[in-house]
Amino acid sequence: MKVREAFSESYRHCVAVEKIKAGARRLVVADRDGSIQPFPQPVKYIPESELSAGKELREMTAEYPLIQSSAQVIERVADGNAYEVSVREYGLKRSRPKLVLPDGTVTNNPGDVPEWEHLHNPDIFLGFGSGIYLRYNGGYATDREFHKALGGDEWRPRFFEDLDKLKQKHPEIDFEGALGVVDKKHLQRNPDADVDPPDFRVQFDQFDEDERLKLWMAVLAAKLRGEGFENVEWADESNPQRRRFTSYAVSAFGQKHQMLERAGNGLSYASGVPMDELTFDPIGDSPTDLLSGLIAFQGAKEVNLVIAANSRLSNCIVNNKCSFAGVPLPGGPDHPTVPGRYYPTELPGVLWWKGVNQSRPRRVVVADHTPFAAGLGCTESVVMCLKYLWYGPSLRRP
């Protein structure tokens, strides 16, 4: 299979489409960070219960397409063999990662990290800021058309050209100091980072809310004045309760819900199975995961959003709050762009969400508030919530 054929036919021949053609009508879309991977790298101590849950999750999804979405990048997800095939057959240009094992040794193969054994090689990987990668024939082919829509190879250089101009106008804002570790060297790989910088995302880490707002407003004002940043949107992954303000400047089509929508429609089209015959189970724990679970996969037969255990959003959702620590939260009754309301069912922690502009309600399962997943680790809770959705009783819609 030649490279150009892999790019143009990446959906048609991918593993996920083959599963749908074989009869699968359910797709699991799991956020990796904090939902099915509860531990950072370097890996230290991981409870055996979480490792067992990861194995069980892969066994449960063997016949279903398993999609992982993450702010991580493909080279931290594909093992050494899949990486080599991706480079050789499909033109992957990203360098190998640098991973530190618990004993301090360094490897560039995620397959050498035993704690990641059941996280390797999903059917599709949605890199928040790096693109869509579809597993085929032992490697990963890029959705090239979407790569172009994101801004292609020019998006990142153009962003930093615009940022350099903005720094001259706003010397009072420490743009460089706020850049995340992976972005410190702009277009080059930072020796202190374990991966190459993503093509369509720039991270800013700050510890003061006012400083974050100043940076945001400076970029947005320049965009409104026509002074660059045309293909730039903000995604907020902050946790104000911990005084951590993390913002992502991303391509307009690189927002997580846009990527999920693209992948869902691509799989439906390539398999010949209409969206209204497919059920999606998105899993997450962050505001961007919540937004994606409420608005992505338009036209699907059913969408069931699982909020993994220990999410900072759990109480806000069950109490119909419109914000988390002062940050607007999608789905609340007063949210400016995605308003709606959560309706309880007979079972605690299981709700229906009805959006003002949504024709169909969506089921939301908040693990921490359910009788079957409360108190579990995040991966454990995900497995229990999926078991409930797949094998539990049906619920009345509001």
Domain count, the chain: 2
What are the CA-CA distances from residue 87 to residues 121, 142, 189, 381 (Å)? 15, 11, 18, 36
Query: If DSSP codes are grouped into helix, strand and coil, which group holds residue 391?
Result: helix
List the domain range (segments joined by +) for residue 364: 3-148+255-391
- Of 204, 225, 250, the residue at which a domain comes to its end is 250
Q: Using the 3D structure, point to which of 234, 250, 266 is the last residue of a domain.
A: 250
Question: At 122, phi and psi to the nearest 5?
Answer: -70, 170
Q: Are residues 141 and 269 in the same domain?
A: yes
281 within a domain of the structure (yes/no): yes
Residue 219 and residue 238 in one domain: yes
Please check whether residue 215 lies inside any domain of the structure.
Answer: yes
Question: Do 69 and 259 contact (CB within 8 A), yes or no?
Answer: yes
Distances (CA, A) of 4 to 9, 91, 134, 142: 8, 9, 14, 10
Residue 193 lies in a domain: yes
Same domain flag for 15 and 144: yes
| 246 and 259 both lie in a single domain | no
Cα–Cα dist 77/97, whole Å: 10
- β-bridge partners, 136: 139
Q: What is the pLDDT of residue 395?
A: 59
**Burial (0-12, 13-18, 19+ Cβ within 10 Å), 368:** buried
Whether 209 and 245 share a structural domain? yes
Helices and strands in the chain: count of H runs, count of E runs:
12, 17
Residue 396 lies in a domain: no
With contact defined as beta carbons under 8 Å apart, do 108 and 47 qualify?
no
Is residue 398 domain-resident?
Answer: no
Question: For residue 38, what pLDDT is reported?
Answer: 85
Q: Does 58 fall in a domain?
A: yes
pLDDT of residue 397: 55
| Tokens of residue 80, six digits | 């050494």
Angle, CA 259 vertex, CA 199 and CA 40 arms, to 5°: 65
Q: Spell out a b/e string for 14-38, using b for 16 or more CB atoms within 10 Å of the CB, else e.
A: bbbbbbbeeebebbbbbbbbbbbbb
Considering the domain architecture, whether residues 191 and 323 belong to the same structural domain is answered as no
Predicted local distance difference test score (pLDDT) of residue 6: 38
The token duo for 157 is: 């250089």
Shared-domain flag, residues 159 and 288:
no
Do residues 264 and 374 share a domain?
Answer: yes
Residues 7 and 68 in one domain: yes
Domain boundary among 232, 250, 268: 250
For residues 160 and 129, state if they share a domain. Answer: no
Q: Which residues of the chain have pLDDT under 50?
A: 1-8
Residue 372, CA distances (Å) to 196, 203, 289, 342 in order: 40, 37, 22, 20
Claim to verify: residue 216 and residue 269 sit in the same structural domain: no
**Is 101 in the same domain as 160?**
no
